[in-house]
Structure 1
Amino acid sequence: MEIFVNLPLESCNCPYGYGGDDCSQRAEPGEDLEASIEWKHAPANKTIEIKVDGFSGVQCGFGCMNGGFEVKILEDPRMTILNFGSHNKHSHGSRAKRQVIIRGEDQDQYKWPNNTVHYYFDEENFDFSMKETILQAMKMLSSHTCIKFSTEPSDVIIRMESDSDRNYCFSEIGHVRENQQFSFTSSCYSVGLAVHEIIHSLGFMHAHQRADRDEYLHFVMDLDGMSLQDRQQYAIWEHQILLVPYDYGSVMQYADADDNYFPINKNRFMYQTMGSEVVAFYDYLMINKYYECSCGDDALKCQNFGYPNPSNCSQCNCPYGFGGDDCSQRAEPGTTLQATKGWKNTTISLDAGFKDVNHLRMRQIDYIYSYLWITAPENKTTEIRVLQSESGKCFRGCGRGAIEIKTNEDPRLTSPRFCCNESKTVRSSHTPTVVMAYNSEGLNEYTIAYRYVDTYQ
């Protein structure tokens, strides 16, 4: 990872709490109670236990932006693991996300008991569409996992709130405390963004904070310009479990080339894919593995890398493009096409219409989909050209709509997506080759050409 900073040659940049030119001293001021940094000592081979009895004069708010304190408990003092009152923030337009975070050896500390998330809506600033978006996100997650959502009272409950003064959404990580916060605004207006925040509430961090992220991403960050809160959005957390492979198309992955800090993918074909609002196959599987959702040994046998759906064990969770109870059929709606030696053209049209709510939101809260299966003779390679994209929705993460041609050996992983009007040619050794298109706003039309060629041509 490269980190670009401007450092004066005569002094060091020290972790918070350390000072002096070489970071060997306590940072100052050390006695001022308004901004106090104190060192506590203990005999060798002893553990310091710190009890927080309470404090006053500080407002409990998002990120402790109005004040707070921090206890360094990691072997690496540069990392923050415990911030009293800390949350996870997601700013709309900054997305291009275990990744399960654990504390010490307790892997279950932040799980919701009985796989049930308790919540209620603070109705004061919620409009119908924002509430509908969150409820649809809950329905999507509960229909693919064993997670349930309940409005029954509980000791730990999520307060769903909306603040019109904010342009970002955020949630606390995992099962934390009574009235834990989940803030949703009109700027996060899509089911995918709501799912992103709910997955945080289930105990997961971003995909770009995984321990293996440097195998897939290159980062350029200006540490001098980053707040502590922003650093927490990109830091690799020390205690984590990787339950599924890294996926550029995870709904938990920020966009390529963020406005302020730069996670740049190492696969140049994936730059439009990062920042997806489509919930990936592995996003669901990650949740199911962590919460130990299963259907038992006598469950339905699934094909094409699907697995029994713990929400409905008579059906499978299938990779995009595959359907039927056991993933053996093409997903609907869709069409099956036969490739030939000569080029053939076809156009995929998806009309999502427009949804005008208070003249602010012009897109549907969720996507409509269409699927193609393109078949070819055995031992032939399918070649597909994206000739034209008539959508006018060239956004990072292709949040309004895109076309995806499944070329990965693992069909569960997200393949490159295209939402800008540029010609692309890809090859696939699979038969059928799955082509997926999705849209949430207006009319999208994608014209592709396809044929088969000799595998080594």
Structure 2
Amino acid sequence: MRTLTLIALTALLAVVVARAGPGRDKAERKPGAAAGRKRVDPDAMTDAEGEEFEKVRDMNLTDEQFEDYEKETEESGGAREKRQDVSIGNGCEVIGTVVHEIMHALGVFHFQSRYDRDSYVSIEMTYVTADRQNNFVKYTSTQTVNYTPYEYGSTMHYSANSFVSQSGAISIWPSDQDYVFTMGNRIVSFYDIKLVNSHYACTCASGATCVNGGERNPKNCAQCLCPMGYGGTTCSTRPAGCGSALTATTAWQTTLIQAGVDSQTLRNDFTLCTSWVSAPAGKTLQFNITGNFTTQCQYGCPFNGLEIKNKADLKAASPRHCCSNTFNKVISSTNNPTPLIAYNRYYITQFQVTYRYV
């Protein structure tokens, strides 16, 4: 079991926010809404405390070093709240799981607990034992605040088969069933980051002009935080790294998109590979996943998958694919270009995709 301080965890989240490539939301707690869980009050942080946070983050202290630092600060008259520990169990170090727990410490509920969840998911308790049904509680609008649209791809969302007692059973059905394998994914979404930035008033009054759903980065307002699939200073370019720029025609063409590294060690973070497919203005792109290599089919697509960014909300995750159930079906998109995003944290995954425009 690993225990990290709230300052260390918040620093980690700050790093995630700065990286921001993979960008679901959640219901956020209003002050006092959940007894026993400590909240951070952004309005209570003084300039001096903000400077201290920056200093401590850059020191990269171990827990023992932080305890010594905290003691010295208190003995020298420094005023600060006590730390809040978050425990990360062995085997749970994947970055999305760590951020999931950080977000709980920052006051965020699970996504499927939002008061508007019934418009987006159906909860099925038939195969969930009574002692586990508390995990599906729905909060009210007086208890929580929704800062973003509903996000199936949030790292705060449970998977479709969470807490079921029978193999093959489902506990959460998405209204848009294209998302059945997306829920429970542990890629940090754009809306995850936006949610925290909104709640803690981390915004920019002016700065970069962002496109493709991007928003100004509170750490550098001259640059944009980009949804997954977009990159560059203003989110106007394909993310750096593997992938290619493809041009569709009226005839089906085939591309092979690959992500991962040649090692059979499970990694704590994802490698991404993004291709863009373009068409003439006003045309609809069509895609079909016709082949795959070393995908692990599982709800949440936690090890690898392919996202074809076909939904209108570019900030949100589009459905992710890692199971044959969603292969060999035509997927349409009016996003031009449409990003194809392969992700992986175990070995190497390949997807064969055909594409054209109509």
TM-score bucket of the superposed structures, by smaller chain: 0.7 to 0.9
Task: Indicate the residue corresponding to 1:311 in structure 2.
Answer: 219
1:379 to 275, 279, 282: 282
Question: d(CA) in 2 for partners of 1:424 and 1:399?
Answer: 22
Identity across aligned pairs (percent)? 31
Deviation of residue 187 (structure 1)?
A: 3.0
Give the corresponding residue for 1:410. 313
Native 8 Å contact 1:393 1:419 kept in 2: yes
Report what 2:70 is aligned to: 153
**Counterparts of residues 199-218 of structure 1 (less than 5 Å):** 199-218=103-122
Residues 368-402 of structure 1: CA deviation (Å, up to 9, x unaligned): 11111111112211111101121231121111110
1:102-117 to 2 correspondences below 5 Å? 102-103=30-31, 110-113=39-42, 114=45
Matches within 5 A, 1:305-454: 305-333=213-241, 334-354=243-263, 362-421=265-324, 422-453=327-358
2:125 to 207, 212, 221: 221
Conserved in 1, the CA contact under 8 Å of 2:210 and 2:234? yes
Q: Are 2:260 and 2:272, in contact at CA under 8 Å, matched by a contact in 1?
A: no
> SS at the partner of 1:329?
coil
1:189 to partner: Cα distance? 3.1
Q: CA deviation at 1:304?
A: 1.6
2-side partners of 1:245 and 1:153: how far apart?
A: 39
Distance 1:152 1:326 in 2: 39
Residues 101 and 237 in structure 1, CA contact (< 8 A), matched pair in contact too: no
Q: Does structure 2 retain, via aligned residues, the 8 Å contact 1:389–1:420?
A: no
Structure-2 separation of matches of 1:434 and 1:403: 10
TM-score computed with the length of structure 1 as normaliser = 0.61
Query: 1:266-285, aligned counterparts within 5 Å?
Result: 266-285=175-194
Whether contact under 8 Å (2:26, 2:156) holds in the other structure is no
Give 1:250 deviation, angstroms.
0.5
The structure richer in helix per residue is 2
Amino acid at match of 2:70: P
Amino acid at match of 1:234: F
Three-state SS of the structure 1 residue aligned to 2:112 is: helix
| Aligned-partner Cα distance in 1 for 2:68–2:111 | 29
Distance 2:41 2:87 in 1: 19
Q: 2:138 aligns with which of 225, 228, 236?
A: 236
Kindly provide the amino acid, as one letter, of the partner of residue 446 in structure 1: F
1:194 to 75, 98, 108: 98
Deviation at 1:329, TM superposition (A): 1.2
Distance 1:342 1:197, change over 3 A: same
Structure-2 change in CA distance of 1:346 and 1:257 (3 Å): same
Q: Using structure 2 for the length normalisation, give the TM-score.
A: 0.77
- The answer to whether the 8 A contact 1:370-1:436 is kept is yes
Instruction: Indicate the structure whose relative CO is greater, using CA pairs within 8 Å and at least 6 residues apart.
Output: 2
SS at match of 1:371: strand
Q: Which residue matches 2:167? A: none
Match of 1:399, as an amino acid?
Answer: P
Name the CA shift for 1:151/1:369 in 2 (closer, same or farther; >3 Å): farther
CA contact 2:259–2:271 (8 Å) conserved in 1: yes
Whole-angstrom CA distance in 2 between matches of 1:270 and 1:243? 21
Work out which of the two has the higher radius of gyration on C-alpha atoms and give 1 or 2.
Answer: 1
Deviations 1:142-186 (A, max 9, x none): xxxxxxx999528xxxxxxxxxxxxxxxxxxxxxx8454412112
Alpha-carbon distance in 1 for matches of 2:68, 2:185: 29
Between the aligned partners of 2:284 and 2:124, the Cα distance in structure 1 is 38
Give the distance between the partners of 2:94 and 2:304, measured in 1 at CA: 12
Other structure's SS at 2:330 match = strand
Across the aligned residues of Structure 1 and Structure 2, the Cα RMSD in angstroms comes to 2.8
The 3-state SS of whatever aligns with 2:244 is: strand
Q: Decide whether aligned partners of structure 1 residues 179 and 329 sit closer, same or farther in structure 2, where only a CA change above 3 A counts.
A: closer
- Return closer, same or farther for 1:279/1:347 CA change in 2, 3 Å cut-off: same
- The within-5 A match list for 1:276-295 is 276-295=185-204
Asked whether the 8 Å contact 2:288–2:355 carries over to 1, the reply is yes
Task: Kindly provide the amino acid, as one letter, of the partner of residue 153 in structure 1.
Answer: E
